[in-house]
């Protein structure tokens, strides 16, 4: 297994295939294993890079997550790109990973080629984010299937990363912390926003939010899927891969 150091801790990464590098960024409470069902759709076109963000999957655990979680994850992305010696890496982030992808591009745009941000709330968390999160996490921890999925993502100590993630997301919502390293209007790399109209885990007006983000940035593309649950790039895997590969190439 391969690791790099970030804040004196081991962060896991993996490389698959050949070609231009594209890094997949996982969402909250899970790990890069979430992408396993769709990697075959991308690995023949790109060198796929996977990362388990600090505190998740095969990476070292942390006592707590800071409330600049997605900004910090963006910095982890840049640290890995520099460690591997790449430049102009494509980023595909979904859910929490979408914020991390945009933050990486805001933090160090010269190292990023294009960004795909999938299935997320946008510039601000939804008004009912905290309540919805608590309800969702209580429900999922009662589900045998979800507990198995969490264990598959993280290992036997799956409750540690899941509970710490829940704690920091609640705190982020309560404190209304900034979600981006710089104002979104300063984003200077090509951006594709994707999502599903049937997504039950993002705010209902996310399409309007996407449109306003693109207007604020001054450029960008949007693709909305009519069907599919959270996240769209997995629930609409084949169609999404065609759209994303076309955008990246």
Query: pLDDT digit string (tens) for 10-41?
Result: 999 999 999 999 999 999 999 999 999 999 99
Name the average pLDDT for the chain: 97
pLDDT digits (tens, 9 = 90+) for 54-105: 999 999 999 999 999 999 999 999 999 999 999 999 999 999 999 999 999 9
Share of the chain above pLDDT 90, in %: 98
pLDDT of residue 139: 92
Rounded distance between C-alpha atoms, residue 10 and residue 12, angstroms: 6
The model carries a pTM of: 0.98
pLDDT digits (tens, 9 = 90+) for 194-207: 999 999 999 999 99
Tokens representing 98 are: 């979408």
The answer to whether the peptide bond before residue 231 is cis (omega within 30 degrees of 0) is: yes
pLDDT surpassing 90 at residue 141: no
Q: Look at residue 218 and give its three-state secondary structure.
A: coil
pLDDT surpassing 90 at residue 192: yes
Q: In b/e form, how buried is each residue of 135-169, taking b as 16+ CB within 10 angstroms?
A: eebeeeeeeeebeebbeebbeeebeebbebbbebb
Which helix (H) or strand (E) segment holds residue 163: the answer is helix 159-175
């Amino acid at each position: 297994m391969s690791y790099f150091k970030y804040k004196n801790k081991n962060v896991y990464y993996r490389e698959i295939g050949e070609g231009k590098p594209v890094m997949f960024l996982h969402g909250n409470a899970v790990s890069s294993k979430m992408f396993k069902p769709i990697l075959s759709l991308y690995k023949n076109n790109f060198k796929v890079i996977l990362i388990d963000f600090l505190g998740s999957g095969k990476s070292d655990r942390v006592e707590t997550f800071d409330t600049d979680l997605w900004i910090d994850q963006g910095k982890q992305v840049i640290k890995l790109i520099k460690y591997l010696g790449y430049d102009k890496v494509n980023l595909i982030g979904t859910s929490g990973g979408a914020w991390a992808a945009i933050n990486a591009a805001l933090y160090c745009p010269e190292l990023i080629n294009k960004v795909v941000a999938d299935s997320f709330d946008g510039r601000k968390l939804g008004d009912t984010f905290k309540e919805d999160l608590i309800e969702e996490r209580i429900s999922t921890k009662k589900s045998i299937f979800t507990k198995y999925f969490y264990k598959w993502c993280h290992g036997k100590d799956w409750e540690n990363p899941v509970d710490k993630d829940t704690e920091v997301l609640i705190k982020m919502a309560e404190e209304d912390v900034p979600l981006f390293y710089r104002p979104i209007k300063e984003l200077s790399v090509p951006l594709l926003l994707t999502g599903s109209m049937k997504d039950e885990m993002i705010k209902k007006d996310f399409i309007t939010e996407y449109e306003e983000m693109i207007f604020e940035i001054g450029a960008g593309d949007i693709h909305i899927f009519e069907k599919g649950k959270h996240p769209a790039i997995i629930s609409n895997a084949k169609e999404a891969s065609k759209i994303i590969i076309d955008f990246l190439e």
